[in-house]
Structure 1
């Protein structure tokens, strides 16, 4: 917890277990979160992102959720295509279920 900026044992423990599908109230296997979509939905102005990601503070408005479109100097490019990887994960789950 000491490495988390907003760490809270009760909240984080259950949140992580829920997301991993191993908690007492686990998410369904087909619900794969996209962090960009979640940020756009729950932080539409980007204030939270700018507060905790100093490299993105210079990006105004909603554009902060798509930094790869005009990345700040030295900011890493995305390493995951969320839509593709979601489908890969679902295909694997479906193969196991079959």
Structure 2
């Protein structure tokens, strides 16, 4: 799904500050519908480093994207079996919405970054690079 690809691109490059080429290569090697032009362009756009990129300050909030485009958690439950038993809105953020025990029992990892902190760090790096 294209929305998921955009969220992954934003998360890897802006929240985790990883080189966009790592994600681009992974997608090409693992997705069954890999198309070089579409994949390469999508990663350039999503990481704000391509020929026609989205503005650097456009940083997807994974939680908001999840709540907006999968409000009932159907996509999550289908593709993340570790969270199938989580009910209600906790599906989007189990560790802070009362479903930590289920998530832990099923092997779902805790968040690896705080999105607000990561977002601020990415914005500062982009601003600094643009001033040079």
- Name the TM-score class by shorter chain: 0.7 to 0.9
Quote the residue 2:129 is aligned against: 96
Quote the residue 2:78 is aligned against: 51
Counterparts of 1:25 and 1:59, CA distance in 2: 39
Cα 1:96/1:11, change in 2 over 3 Å: closer
**Structure 2 gaps, min length 5:** 1-27
Quote the residue 1:40 is aligned against: 67
Cα 1:24/1:33, change in 2 over 3 Å: same
Q: Which runs of 4+ in 1 moved over 4 A?
A: 10-13
TM-score normalised to the size of structure 2?
0.62
**Which secondary structure does the structure 2 equivalent of 1:79 belong to?**
coil
Larger RCO: 1 or 2 (CA < 8 Å, sep 6+): 2
- Tell me the matched-pair count: 97
Q: Give how far 1:68 is off.
A: 1.5
Richer in helix (by share): 2
Work out which of the residue numbers 58, 69, 76 in structure 2 matches 1:31: 58
**Which secondary structure does the structure 2 equivalent of 1:75 belong to?**
coil
TM-score normalised to the size of structure 1?
0.80
**Structure 1 gaps, min length 5:** none
Cα 1:95/1:17, change in 2 over 3 Å: closer
